[in-house]
Amino acid sequence: MRTRAILIDRLGPPERLVERDVELADLGPDQIHVEVQAAGVNFADLIMRMGLYGTVPPRPFSPGFEVAGTAARVGAHVESIREGDRVIAWSRFGGYAHDVVVEARNVHLLPDELDWVDGAAIPVVFATAWACLFGVGRAVAGQTVLVLGAGGGVGTAAVQLARAAGLVVYGTAGTQEKRDFVVKLGATECFNSRGNWENPLVATIGKRGLDIALDPLGGAATAACRRQLASMGRLVVYGMSLAVPGVRRNWLAAALTWLRTPRIHPMSLVRGNLSVSGVHLLHLSSKQDLVQQAFEEMLPKFRSGELHPVLDRVFSLDRDGAVQAHRRLHARENLGKVVLARETYDGSRGHHSRG
Type and span of the H or E element at 235:
strand 229-237
Per-residue buried b or exposed e for 259-274, using 16+ beta carbons within 10 Å of the residue's own CB: eebbeeeeeebeeeeb
Burial class (CB in 10 A: 0-12, 13-18, 19+), 220: middle
What is the fold of 125-282?
Rossmann fold (3.40.50)
Per-residue buried b or exposed e for 301-329, using 16+ beta carbons within 10 Å of the residue's own CB: bbeeeebbbbbbbbbbbbbebbbbbbbbb
Which tens digit of pLDDT belongs to each residue from 75-88?
A: 999 999 999 999 99
Which tens digit of pLDDT belongs to each residue from 9-18?
A: 999 999 999 9
Place domain 2-122+309-341 in its CATH homologous superfamily: Medium-chain alcohol dehydrogenases, catalytic domain (3.90.180.10)
Q: Say what the pLDDT of residue 344 is.
A: 56
Topology match between the domains 2-122+309-341 and 125-282: no
Other CB atoms within 10 A of residue 127 CB: 25
3-state DSSP assignment of residue 52: coil
Gap between the Cα atoms of 86 and 206, Å rounded: 48
Q: Where are the domains of the chain?
A: 2-122+309-341, 125-282
CB 42 within 8 A of CB 132: no
Mark residue 352 as left, alpha or beta (left: phi above 0; alpha: psi -120 to 50; beta: remaining): left
- Measured CA to CA in angstroms, residue 305 lies from 124, 131, 169, 301 at distances of 19, 21, 20, 6
Predicted TM-score (pTM) above 0.85:
yes
Which tens digit of pLDDT belongs to each residue from 89-143?
A: 999 899 999 999 999 999 999 999 999 999 999 999 999 999 999 999 999 999 9
Gap between the Cα atoms of 210 and 231, Å rounded: 9
